[in-house]
Amino acid sequence: MFAFVLRRLLVAIPTIIVITAVAFFMMKVAPGGPFDLERPMPEEIRERLLAEYGLDQPVWKQYIDYMAGLVQGDFGPSLKFLDKDVAELIGEGLPVSLMIGALAMLVAVVLGTFLGAIAALRQNTSGDFAVMSFAMIGVSIPPLVMGPILALVLGVYMGIFPTGGLNFSRYGLSVLVLPVITLALPQIAIIARLMRASMIEVIRSNYIRTARAKGLSASAVIVRHALRAAVLPLVSYLGPASAAVISGSLVIERVFQLPGMGAYFVDAALQRDYTLVMGVVVVYATLIIVLNLIADLIYSVLNPRVSYDS
């Protein structure tokens, strides 16, 4: 197990290097720079500024300098928020994004597994039909439609939940309700569909019949035997799911005006704030790689047929 984790971490390093390199050089190819203002500044000041941030160097040298800083945990200064480091900005935004994302994932996994299992156990009944219709709604209504509509109906018309900002002191935890629901909904739907399909397959298998035949109670068969095998496909979906939640959070943070990390990203890219863009990419890429690793480990724990120790 340890060797497996080590091997995966070693693969992760070149992966991150490639990701950062691609993002870095793509940003550099983009026309314009961080100091292109509407009113052009004098050439001398511009050059001084570029030199100050090392932007007058050849691009490959800039990349090496950036990576050297990154290894020491230095994300560099933001080029647009002049009094702040990228690390500070990420430190402000990341907790918000993580909280919303983690809550959404939790809701999605718990509700999705539950609904999918119910649908499978009551296959072709009205309960199954209801769950599958709900799942169809979930996959067909993206966060960017659901978010504004929920905000309009529950927030503006009915005034049940606050719709914007993250004002805990004024509204308490209810500010989280709409963003988390919106972000979780597509994932609940996808997980419920996956769970239903795999559960149906499992409860038709021979060892479940054996378990029933030897007289185990229905609940013991489901909980001890069927569920454990049926969640396996879900575990391998966790990696892609976390990537999807992260992309979704870009929209959510805009719809509900949350001060998260995704909210910076688009503006930073448009304004050529190279270091901030890179910082967000690095943090999210690392996060996703780690989550994938965790998913693989859970998979190996749940599935005795997979061994990573060889």
Query: By rule CB under 8 A, what string of x and - marks binding of each residue 203-242 to other proteins?
Result: ------------------------------------xx-x
Q: Residue 287 has which token pair?
A: 């996060």
Considering the rule CB under 8 A, would residue 100 count as an interface residue with other proteins? Answer: no
Q: Residue 152 has which token pair?
A: 């309009």
At its nearest, how many Å lie between other proteins and the CB of residue 287?
A: 9
Helix (H/G/I), strand (E/B), else coil: 85: strand
CB 186 within 8 Å of CB 142: yes
At its nearest, how many Å lie between other proteins and the CB of residue 220?
A: 26
Q: Which stretch binds other proteins (CB under 8 A): 58-66, 145-153, 170-178, 222-230?
A: 145-153
Q: Which stretch binds other proteins (CB under 8 A): 37-45, 75-83, 210-218, 286-294?
A: 286-294
| Binding test (CB under 8 A) with other proteins, winner from 3, 152, 218, 220 | 152
Q: Which 8-state DSSP code applies to residue 75?
A: -
The C-alpha R_g of the chain, in whole angstroms, comes to 24
Compare residues 216 and 286 and give the one whose CB is closer to other proteins.
Answer: 286
Q: How many angstroms separate the Cα of 71 from the Cα of each of 51, 52, 65, 109, 169?
A: 22, 21, 10, 34, 38
Compare residues 23 and 192 and give the one whose CB is closer to other proteins.
Answer: 23
At its nearest, how many Å lie between other proteins and the CB of residue 113?
A: 18
Alpha carbons 151 and 140: distance in angstroms, whole number: 18
At its nearest, how many Å lie between other proteins and the CB of residue 157?
A: 9
Considering the rule CB under 8 A, would residue 197 count as an interface residue with other proteins? Answer: yes
For residue 57, the number of C-alpha atoms closer than 13 Å in the C-beta half-sphere is: 11
Alpha carbons 85 and 80: distance in angstroms, whole number: 10
CB 278 within 8 Å of CB 23: yes
Considering the rule CB under 8 A, would residue 277 count as an interface residue with other proteins? Answer: yes
Alpha carbons 277 and 22: distance in angstroms, whole number: 12
Helix (H/G/I), strand (E/B), else coil: 77: strand
Q: Which of residues 14-73 bind other proteins (CB under 8 A)?
A: 15, 19, 22-23, 26-27, 29-31
Q: Which residues lie near other proteins (CB under 8 A)? A: 15, 19, 22-23, 26-27, 29-31, 136, 139-142, 144-145, 147-149, 151-152, 156, 197, 200, 239-240, 242-243, 246-247, 250-251, 254-255, 265-266, 269-270, 277, 280-281, 284-285, 288-289, 291-292
